[in-house]
Structure 1
Amino acid sequence: MRRRWVFYPLLTLVIICALPFVLTLIYRIDAVRPVSTLMIARAVTGDPVDRRWVEIDDVAPRLYQSVLMSEDGQFCSHHGIDLRELRAVIDDALEGERPRGASTITMQTAKNLFLWSGRSFVRKGLEMPLAVWIDLVLPKQRIMEIYLNIAEWGPSGQFGIAAGADYHFGRQPDGLSARQSALLAVTLPNPHVRDPARPTADLNRVADVIQGRAAQSGGYDWCLPD
């Protein structure tokens, strides 16, 4: 009897730990449309969820170029983790400077698909090996496609670029202007506070930078559609 008390909890833990790695293999299939843990949580509690899947070929290149330059300029080059940026963050922390983020798009995809929000060393420790696995299993284009379709882009349950573009600008993802794309990209860290349709002076300033970088992103977006 005592063996069962140990065996079944241990088996459950192994299954929970293995599930993200198995699901990532399934997510290689283009017909599969993953959902985030936050989307699931909202659905379970009865909160609205607006997500309309869109393939990356149906997204304006200026949008994913803006997201790339805003969130993870080395996305096409690293293997899930930007080690140079991570080392810089660690050095800053050791020197007593205010901590800053070092999450790549792949790490954020891992978090959104399998983990939870909020700052936590435990979550970050789980996030990094998952990001390496996702980068190993999924093509870069598929990672970006999933990220664009599960990122939270609005204050009331808008997930994915189709819902976000419609909610804020009344447009489809392939009809976004360069300016709208930049504003949507810089909204991503906090869509509950940042409003791309009514940007503050600070948001406009950051969007100016991202719009300029996106226009010159040719050396960085080689792993994504032309």
Structure 2
Amino acid sequence: MSAPRRLGCLGAVGLFILVLVLLPVGGVAIHGVVPPLTTFLMVEQGLKGKKADYRWRGLNDISPRLVEAVIAAEDATFCSHRGFDMKAIEKALESNARGRRVRGGSTISQQTAKNVFLWSGRNWLRKGMEAGYTVLIEAFWSKRRIVEVYLNVAEWAPGVYGAEAASQKWFGKSAADLTPREAARLAAILPSPRRYQAASPGPYVRRRASRIQAAMGTVRNEGLAGCVLD
């Protein structure tokens, strides 16, 4: 291969790598200030004919109780980690190694990265990209912004995305007016929003919501949501 042709190939490879780096960084930087217009999950469900109910609300228009509830339920160390809960990951790996049901170790940061920037699935490519986006949003966004985006793009019922749409569907009120009990119920159904209901929950959701509501007191008293709530 001639020197000019070799340089041309190297230039093309370099340009490709540069684009691969700049696209994620640019997307994260933009969504640090601009709400996502949609997500891959919304698009996937839309292609199946399911209309999305997605209503963005700033964190000041969402009850602090819901912030406490999701931190209590999903990620109690949110304010102290940098995107990954290594103890939770170790426990998940140990559980999987013993052949038990796969346990998750995802933080709110990881879930936000997945929900906003990636498609659904569990393959290694997506998990690797999820880790990369998690590092980026922790670097570019404040903890408050991460929770704000998470609460606005999480699915809370089939085709229902975000705290405002969820509050209206399940309780007929604004997300700003959620009570501690209602917030705990919304957090309780997050792992399986297409299976469980927040308004008229069964025994499992009632028990889980009760535990979450109790843990919300710990979150509040120990300042575990201090990086989000003033």
The answer, yes or no, to whether TM exceeds 0.5 is yes
- Of the three residues 149, 152, 170, the one matched with 2:152 is 149
**3-state SS of the aligned residue for 2:193?**
coil
Alpha-carbon distance in structure 2 between the residues aligned to 1:71 and 1:94: 23
- Of the three residues 74, 77, 91, the one matched with 1:71 is 74
- Of the three residues 20, 24, 28, the one matched with 1:20 is 24
The Cα shift of 1:5 comes to: 11
Tell me the number of residue pairs that the alignment of Structure 1 and Structure 2 aligns: 222
Taking the TM superposition and a 5 Å limit, the aligned residue runs for 1:194-209 are 194-209=196-211
Q: 1:162 and 1:96, CA in 2 relative to 1: closer, same or farther beyond 3 A?
A: same
Alpha-carbon distance in structure 2 between the residues aligned to 1:37 and 1:58: 25
Match of 1:221 in 2: 225
**3-state SS of the aligned residue for 1:209?**
helix
**Residue 87 of structure 2 corresponds to residue 57 of structure 1:** no
Match of 1:125 in 2: 128
Taking the TM superposition and a 5 Å limit, the aligned residue runs for 1:87-106 are 87-106=90-109
Alpha-carbon distance in structure 1 between the residues aligned to 2:119 and 2:153: 13
Q: 1:206 and 1:26, CA in 2 relative to 1: closer, same or farther beyond 3 A?
A: same
Match of 2:183 in 1: 181
Q: 1:84 and 1:45, CA in 2 relative to 1: closer, same or farther beyond 3 A?
A: same
**3-state SS of the aligned residue for 1:153?**
strand
The Cα shift of 1:28 comes to: 2.1
Aligned amino acid, residue 124 of structure 1:
K
Alpha-carbon distance in structure 2 between the residues aligned to 1:58 and 1:148: 11
Structure ID, larger Rg: 2
Aligned amino acid, residue 116 of structure 2:
L
Match of 1:192 in 2: 194
The Cα shift of 1:16 comes to: 5.4
User: Any conservation in 2 of the 1:57–1:225 contact (CA below 8 Å)?
Assistant: no
Alpha-carbon distance in structure 1 between the residues aligned to 2:50 and 2:206: 31
Structure 1 gaps of 5+ residues are: none
User: Any conservation in 2 of the 1:39–1:49 contact (CA below 8 Å)?
Assistant: yes
Give the TM-score normalised by structure 1: 0.88
**3-state SS of the aligned residue for 1:141?**
helix
Paired-residue identity, %: 37
